[in-house]
Structure 1
Amino acid sequence: MKQRCLFACFSLLFSFYAFAQTPPTLDYYLPAATRYRPAIPTPEQVLGFQIGTWHLSHDQQVWYLRTLAAAAPDRIKIEEYGRTYEDRPLQVLIITHPDNHQRLEEIRRQHVALNDPAQAASFNTAQMPTVLYNGYSIHGNEPSGANAATLVAYYLAAAEGPEVEQILRNTVILLDPSFNPDGLQRFSTWVNAHKSITEVADPNAREFNEPFPRGRTNHYWFDLNRDWLPAQHPESQGRVRLFQRWQPNVLTDHHEMGTNSTFFFQPGVSTRVNPLTPLQNQELTSKIGQFHAAALDSIGSLYFTKEGYDDFYYGKGSTYPDVQGSIGILFEQASSRGHAQESDHGVLRFPFTIRNQVTTALSTLRALQALRPELLDYQRSFFQESAPTTRGRTTAPQGYVFSRTRDLARAYHFIEMLRRHQIDVYRAGQSVTINGQSVSANEAYVVPLAQRQRRLIEAIFRTQTEFTDSLFYDISSWTFPLAFNLPYQAGLPRLGERIDSLPFPVGRVRGRTDGAVGWAFAWDGYYAPRALYRLQKAGVRTLVAQKPFSQQIGNETIDFSYGTILVPTFNQEVPADSIAALMEQLTTDDALDVYALPTGLAASGVDLGSRSLAPVPQPKIGMFIGSGISSYDAGEIWHLLDQRYQMPLTLLDLDDWRGSNIDRYTVLIMPDGNYRLNDGFKETLERWVRAGGTLVALQGALRWVQSVGLGDFSFKTPPKDTSYTRYVDLPDRRGAQEISGAIFQVDVDVTHPLAFGYRNDRLAVFKQGELFLNSSANATHLPLRYTAQPLLSGYVTAPNLNELRNTPAVVVSPQGRGRVIAFADNPNFRAFWYGTNKLFANALFFGATLRSY
């Protein structure tokens, strides 16, 4: 008993010593009494400082790791697998024994074949190496991971002895030192620029308080740890490609959390594991966790498991592997958010945070040695299951079928996303019926479940409304065909050819181009807004049809719906032949069919000279950003306009607001946020709106807009749970009342300009939070309303669901000659909610055409 007490006291003293030790040495981070190859340079020898003294910038990390790879080519092969938006390299170090490097491609092919039931049984897993994907700092301002990666790479390149020899011989390590180079560079620049020579640990110091948008996110302010499954960004697409190429046994994901925490490693909360994840996955996670516990115990670091974090949403790095025969492991280290900061556990210093990350990276490698055959056998058995899973279902489907409707591009991007995850997609071999509508074979696609990625397919297509737990670390639903607004259902019609190549779709020019009085294209296409802006930028005058019409083009009568874009040939400053060339360009660049109109006289509906064809002015757009505004929501808008629609967007920083001239803008955007703006700003904005401006406000911004009298709408008070709750359960009760992210159905007024491009009067929207709008007395200003039974997928409490029924999702509030367009929800969620992007685009282009009734 005395020995145990002495050991506990020693561990505690050692913990305080480790917490306080400065400056760091290499021995502080790495195993004691290890011999290193003298020809391999240390980080300090290359960089001029020891890791932990300063925050490593991404360019410094690249410099060192390339130097390291050049010095240790027998153990390290370095590959660039992509580039960030800011053109920084995404690189991986493939680290293994020299003998393995001699046959690396053979090892990779054999490892991947282990996932093929037709071949897997022939392999002896006792003689195969495991594959580890070791990844760091997907959030740029969680830097202990990226700094630790540099030390781990040195250790694996230079260390000598039986343990490292065994690790290298039995493991192929894919060391990804920085998942988010742009964010890491932004953060390191900030904290290094604000470091004092004399230690300042005061949490109020500028060093620990980054300005908007902070270094957590990528260039467009996206949380890349939510993008593994959607894979909408180059960083994600590169690492998904790497994951699928190697199909690792374990993926580790090194993060940071609040300064007053300790250290977390998985497993997480057992009741919050996605039902598609096998039980054995969690059992193996627990076994690996024992190695982390022993390693952290040996250096006196405190930690926790089985609480706080979950394994439900498959878009995170620690969960994406769990549905693919792999084990995802999340590490969360308390963050110093700089070089040294006061915490509940004393002064938390940057070297200490790095040390814990190094320690658990090495304990992962020890776990893989001990569990190697078990991990390989688990991966093989995962893919050997012959029947689709029935967990959470009454009947397992054989596959899913979906159609492209009138838009080639959304279906293209959906298939593109599926194929990134090595999911086979086929053309339908016959005409099909989807949700009661007949669809021809050339417009339908099939995803059979009888393929390797069966569970991942279920995760992408399934809906779920019943849950064993009401708390979610992230969203509770993400059904992708609903996100893309593609008709789909379970089923397995006859298969046509497999889609092995996927060129961007091309539209066509229809009708005789010579002598055309005008041109038209439907607004249904995903890239129609990009096409419209390109025409406007070229100086072409454009109109939008606010009523349908038809024209005889050749031998066909073509129906043109609400929102059709018209380009008259005459009274244009651009020559007719230039307009024709531009229209033809839209077919290839924007996947649109364009029509040459032979006459101004309609076969039915309105003629081309009708007042129902409204001029569409070129929008000049500004967006408010800064403190209190959600950088995620602002970034989603910036990304949509810049990357997809190729439209200029001026970012207006409210932190530096000096009464900027906003009269140059026709549209201003207020993303979600908690706005606290002075009367001068309110008066300026009100004058601008009443003079004819379009203010587009989203989610939390609506509360400020309404509070200053700019919006003719009001809010419902979210229902409160007043039942008795024990003190220990109070935090969970609040969490259980939240709409963490679910999918709901709205009724769509397809005649309303904000709904142009939609033909179906039902649409799936994504909702987070409890902002419920009251119905307006003016029904003409309610283009979207939640249905009476709105829940499609995800978790929502019964009281919240009841409050949501029949409420507006979008409200238009006329103000003088202008208007406020209020979105209760986010139509641009995480860049993969393609199905509602058009609503947002409509507000930008057609807001000025709205009439007050």
Structure 2
Amino acid sequence: MKINSLFLLTFLTLGNIFAQEIQSPQEFLGYEIGSRFTRHHKVVDYFKYVSNTLSNVKLEKYGETNEHRPLYVSYISSEENIINLENIRTSNLSQTGILTENTDNKKAIVWLSYNVHGNEASSTEASMLTLYELVTHKKDWLKNTVIIIDPCINPDGRDRYVNWYNQVKSTPYNTAQDAKEHHEPWPGGRANHYLFDLNRDWAWATQIESKQRIKIYNKWMPHIHVDFHEQGINSPYYFAPAAEPFHEIISEWQRDFQTQIGKNHAKYFDKEGWLYFTKESFDLLYPSYGDTYPTFMGSIGMTYEQAGGGRGGLGVQTNEGEILTLKDRAIHHTSTGLSTVEISSKNAEKLNAEFRKFFNNDNLGYKSFVLKNENQDKTNRLKKLLDTHEITYEYASEQTVKGYNFKTQKEDKLNANKGDLVIHTNQPKGKMVQILFEPKAKLVDSLTYDITAWSLPYAHGFNAVASKSKVNSSAMMAKAFTLNAMDKSAYAYISKWTSLEDATFLGELLKNNITPRFSEKPFSIAGKKYRRGTLIILRNDNKQETFDEELIKIANTNKRVLQPVTTGFVDSGSDFGSYSVKPIHKQNVALLSGNGASSLSFGEIWHFFETELHYPLTIIDSEYFSNANFSAYDVIIIPEGYYGGTLTRSTLDKLTKWTRSGGTLIAIGTALHSFADKKGFALTAKKADSQNDKNSNLTPYAEEERKSVKNLITGAIFKSKIDTTHPLGFGYTEEYFSLKLSETSYNYLKDGGNVAYFNKNTQNVSGYAGSAAVKNIPESLLFGEEQKGSGSIIYMVDNPLFRSFWENGKLFLANAVFLLNSNKLKN
């Protein structure tokens, strides 16, 4: 792929004629953009230099990554606008209804986000070129436009990629696709420190980068947001308009202006002869992308995709024989970035007018969502997410609410009590409320880029109703946590087991050498009833002098209510000395990583233990997993992945022997392929109906892709049954809504416990599931336990930690770690 030399000369060097007072990126860095990768700190240095030199550029630090790299945004506009920046910001927010000040904003606000995927590294190089062009050649656009540039959303991932590439590349760089510099090692640079895909985290805000970015994003609510990406080395450039399906909430203006922007880009690409495509592959449905989240917040949200990515390096030969260079890639992204600013500046007045219209929510189908507050920890988690997005909520009064019942999937009634959560859509971010809480997203096309179901009542485990009438509600002061007090006469302290927060509390007890027990049976004592799984902390198990002080401190820090009792003689159920009241010992947990493991699944587990459970684990690489000392661990977790080279017959035999001695092996998602239908394991794959389609070989070529989706499930919600008498199901009710990410199914365990399963009447509740694939789900396993000797293998068919947003699944993993075999002391 060749760049027109005259274009380059004009684009990169003529700036010196007009702006001798500012250095170009090439002059500042000492090398031409595209001749090498720029490490993150040097990119920051250039943005600092420009903001310190020019009065019409302002740099703001908005956060820091897990690896302590700074996160910045740069504001570029006219000097007058920069002086008046705060007034512009508040005037724009007034148009949304978030603020009630003046609404006379006339400036277009364009936000350009670069390098959310660390190894899609050309866009950060382009951010410096774009900044330079804006402050030199394009000053006229700045009169009515504020441009916000985030030069690198994911600096941890970017530097992981850049540092690796610089270590292995040839000099000069090698363009052969087989060259080592075009093959990143596991886990690659795409994801952040915890190996999360930040481009799928906007709505869920599980990562520190997302939380900090959303906070500043919501301060501005831009009219345009562009997310710069890269794709395979053989793909032309992609820009707006997006592909179907569009979520139905997207306005006609948002659709139309995407097309206008695309045509403006095409003008420049046509002139240079650059290849591009639109209206394919990248849809606007799933709400947690860098294009959809801004779109559902009133912006024109877009993804731009340049060929390259981790395989691009400084230059690589494509399948068509062209040499794709980093310089090419940076110039293309610079061109679309500038084109976006240009058309936004030309349409500033219209952008503001349509932006104001977006926040009229009168026509939304649902007016209120009511969620039963049956578990305060779950309610607090959801409220924290809503607070992150500055979505308001209130509390119900005593009333009967009619609407779509999430539990029964039909129009029904719900008896609301005082304190139940109510989220209305008649608020500035009402459209985002509708999207996050709606029971089912309307699909106009089954070919989608991502999951098609995400409704928060299912993800967080709420009994809820979506009402087409506004429900009566009011604000209510949060009830303050009442601190526990010591009771040195207590025979035991009792604590509930219904949420992840309870598991975090348990982990803190174990780390501090306090031994709790849990009850396998329900019981009542001192006039109160307790469920299975309830924690019982006995004085007899904890004879240290500071037992009460340490326990109370940990409970108060974790806001857990302790109930002291003076006897172990219960009113009903089993006494505290019963065999069914089992001790929980400290668990040594190991997690498999490396080649074969899904980096995303591994990252979800790693993040879960370190940031939510706050419980230590040991990470073991697949390269030496077979030689690891399994006896040092009580629990071994196998994340999603394909382990043909790791879980060999001899390694499986070693794991089986370890399990029989009391270990707990937890396999998740696609990792189950390594155990299914293997000698010595109870797990068997469920075979699909093998009826032949007489016309299958007559499918037209153009229809083959669409036909294939009937065999797929890429993210749909199904209702399962839970055995709540099994420790794996403690803390749950008898129904659980699972996000199914694959069409793969397994038979019920004949030798083992089917703790969670889909019965013969199971149907998908929300999201797309192919007509052929869905037939294989009824009478299949979700979570099961195969007992081996003193230990267990836990099979988790669906990933309960998916993207860390399926909150209601997380306690299953905690149960597997702490409640199954932890009563057995290991040698």
Task: Give the Å deviation of 1:570.
Answer: 1.7
Shift of the 337–361 alpha-carbon distance from structure 1 to 2, 3 Å rule, reads same
Q: Is the 8 A contact 2:122 2:330 kept in 1?
A: yes
State the match for 1:399 in structure 2. 368
Task: Give the Å deviation of 1:808.
Answer: 1.5
State the match for 2:318 in structure 1. 343
Amino acid at match of 2:582: A
Question: Which one of 617, 620, 633 corresponds to residue 665 of structure 1?
Answer: 633
State the match for 1:762 in structure 2. 735
State the match for 2:572 in structure 1. 604
Are 1:810 and 2:788 matched, yes or no?
no
Amino acid at match of 2:118: G
Question: Which one of 450, 453, 460 corresponds to residue 474 of structure 1?
Answer: 450
Structure 2: which 5+ runs fail to align? 408-412
SS of the residue corresponding to residue 531 of structure 1 reads: helix
Are 1:75 and 2:56 matched, yes or no?
yes
SS of the residue corresponding to residue 549 of structure 2 reads: helix
Task: Give the Å deviation of 1:596.
Answer: 0.8
Task: Give the Å deviation of 1:439.
Answer: 4.9
Shift of the 776–662 alpha-carbon distance from structure 1 to 2, 3 Å rule, reads closer
1:301-324 Cα distance to aligned partner (Å, 9 max, x none):
110001111111111001112222
Question: Which one of 675, 689, 701 corresponds to residue 671 of structure 2?
Answer: 701
Question: Which one of 517, 540, 547 corresponds to residue 543 of structure 1?
Answer: 517
State the match for 2:76 in structure 1. 95
Are 1:686 and 2:656 matched, yes or no?
yes
Shift of the 619–169 alpha-carbon distance from structure 1 to 2, 3 Å rule, reads same
Are 1:532 and 2:506 matched, yes or no?
yes
Q: Is the 8 A contact 2:782 2:798 kept in 1?
A: yes
Rounded Cα–Cα distance in structure 2 between residues aligned with 1:565 and 1:787: 35
Task: Give the Å deviation of 1:600.
Answer: 0.7
SS of the residue corresponding to residue 654 of structure 2 reads: helix
Shift of the 341–584 alpha-carbon distance from structure 1 to 2, 3 Å rule, reads same
Q: Is the 8 A contact 1:506 1:589 kept in 2?
A: no
Amino acid at match of 1:130: A
Q: Is the 8 A contact 2:662 2:789 kept in 1?
A: yes
Rounded Cα–Cα distance in structure 2 between residues aligned with 1:481 and 1:564: 25
Task: Give the Å deviation of 1:36.
Answer: 4.0
Are 1:181 and 2:155 matched, yes or no?
yes
Amino acid at match of 2:77: T
Task: Give the Å deviation of 1:352.
Answer: 0.5
State the match for 1:106 in structure 2. 87
Moved more, 489-498 or 625-634: 489-498
SS of the residue corresponding to residue 261 of structure 1 reads: coil
TM-score by length of 2: 0.93
Amino acid at match of 1:693: G
Task: Give the Å deviation of 1:386.
Answer: 4.8
State the match for 1:455 in structure 2. 431
Amino acid at match of 1:654: S
Moved more, 539-548 or 566-575: 566-575
Question: Which one of 16, 21, 25 corresponds to residue 39 of structure 1?
Answer: 21
State the match for 1:441 in structure 2. 418
Amino acid at match of 1:333: Q
State the match for 1:12 in structure 2. none
Shift of the 685–507 alpha-carbon distance from structure 1 to 2, 3 Å rule, reads farther
Shift of the 788–589 alpha-carbon distance from structure 1 to 2, 3 Å rule, reads farther
State the match for 1:319 in structure 2. 292
Are 1:154 and 2:124 matched, yes or no?
no
Q: Is the 8 A contact 1:446 1:495 kept in 2?
A: yes
Rounded Cα–Cα distance in structure 2 between residues aligned with 1:195 and 1:185: 15
Task: Give the Å deviation of 1:244.
Answer: 1.2
State the match for 1:371 in structure 2. 347
Are 1:202 and 2:183 matched, yes or no?
no
Rounded Cα–Cα distance in structure 2 between residues aligned with 1:532 and 1:466: 42
Rounded Cα–Cα distance in structure 2 between residues aligned with 1:27 and 1:134: 25
Shift of the 329–813 alpha-carbon distance from structure 1 to 2, 3 Å rule, reads same
1:786-820 Cα distance to aligned partner (Å, 9 max, x none):
56234221111233223211322012112232211
Question: Which one of 393, 396, 400 corresponds to residue 425 of structure 1?
Answer: 393
Question: Which one of 240, 256, 260 corresponds to residue 214 of structure 2?
Answer: 240
Q: Is the 8 A contact 1:465 1:792 kept in 2?
A: no
1:246-284 Cα distance to aligned partner (Å, 9 max, x none):
1111000100000011100011223x1111212221111
Task: Give the Å deviation of 1:119.
Answer: 6.5
Rounded Cα–Cα distance in structure 2 between residues aligned with 1:656 and 1:732: 42
Structure 1: which 5+ runs fail to align? 1-14, 390-395
Amino acid at match of 1:440: N
State the match for 1:497 in structure 2. 475
Amino acid at match of 2:574: V
Shift of the 544–243 alpha-carbon distance from structure 1 to 2, 3 Å rule, reads same
Shift of the 632–289 alpha-carbon distance from structure 1 to 2, 3 Å rule, reads same
Are 1:655 and 2:623 matched, yes or no?
yes
State the match for 1:641 in structure 2. 609
Rounded Cα–Cα distance in structure 2 between residues aligned with 1:350 and 1:659: 42
1:43-80 Cα distance to aligned partner (Å, 9 max, x none):
233323222111111122112211221112x1111111
Shift of the 787–594 alpha-carbon distance from structure 1 to 2, 3 Å rule, reads farther
State the match for 1:57 in structure 2. 39
Q: Is the 8 A contact 1:622 1:650 kept in 2?
A: yes
Taking the TM superposition and a 5 Å limit, the aligned residue runs for 1:589-600 are 589-600=557-568
Count of matched residue positions in the alignment of Structure 1 and Structure 2: 804
Rounded Cα–Cα distance in structure 1 between residues aligned with 2:796 and 2:8: 54
Shift of the 96–718 alpha-carbon distance from structure 1 to 2, 3 Å rule, reads farther
SS of the residue corresponding to residue 636 of structure 1 reads: helix
Task: Give the Å deviation of 1:785.
Answer: 3.7
SS of the residue corresponding to residue 706 of structure 1 reads: coil
Task: Give the Å deviation of 1:106.
Answer: 0.9
Task: Give the Å deviation of 1:589.
Answer: 3.0
Rounded Cα–Cα distance in structure 2 between residues aligned with 1:571 and 1:757: 24
Rounded Cα–Cα distance in structure 2 between residues aligned with 1:266 and 1:251: 12
SS of the residue corresponding to residue 716 of structure 1 reads: coil
Are 1:509 and 2:491 matched, yes or no?
no
Shift of the 827–123 alpha-carbon distance from structure 1 to 2, 3 Å rule, reads closer
Rounded Cα–Cα distance in structure 2 between residues aligned with 1:786 and 1:849: 30
Task: Give the Å deviation of 1:141.
Answer: 0.4
Task: Give the Å deviation of 1:635.
Answer: 0.6
Rounded Cα–Cα distance in structure 1 between residues aligned with 2:159 and 2:543: 47
Are 1:139 and 2:117 matched, yes or no?
yes
Shift of the 749–260 alpha-carbon distance from structure 1 to 2, 3 Å rule, reads same
Rounded Cα–Cα distance in structure 2 between residues aligned with 1:87 and 1:481: 34
Q: Is the 8 A contact 1:583 1:594 kept in 2?
A: no
Q: Is the 8 A contact 1:539 1:573 kept in 2?
A: no
Rounded Cα–Cα distance in structure 1 between residues aligned with 2:192 and 2:594: 16
Shift of the 25–800 alpha-carbon distance from structure 1 to 2, 3 Å rule, reads closer
Taking the TM superposition and a 5 Å limit, the aligned residue runs for 1:551-590 are 551-552=525-526, 557-575=527-545, 578-590=546-558
The share of aligned pairs that are identical, in percent, is 28
Rounded Cα–Cα distance in structure 2 between residues aligned with 1:57 and 1:717: 50
Amino acid at match of 1:645: L
Amino acid at match of 1:398: K
SS of the residue corresponding to residue 801 of structure 1 reads: helix
State the match for 1:228 in structure 2. 202
Q: Is the 8 A contact 2:642 2:670 kept in 1?
A: yes
Rounded Cα–Cα distance in structure 2 between residues aligned with 1:755 and 1:380: 48
SS of the residue corresponding to residue 746 of structure 1 reads: strand
State the match for 1:288 in structure 2. 261
Taking only aligned residues, the RMSD between alpha carbons, in angstroms, comes to 2.4
Rounded Cα–Cα distance in structure 1 between residues aligned with 2:678 and 2:40: 44
1:799-843 Cα distance to aligned partner (Å, 9 max, x none):
322321132201211223221100000000111111010001111
Rounded Cα–Cα distance in structure 2 between residues aligned with 1:487 and 1:275: 25
Task: Give the Å deviation of 1:581.
Answer: 2.6
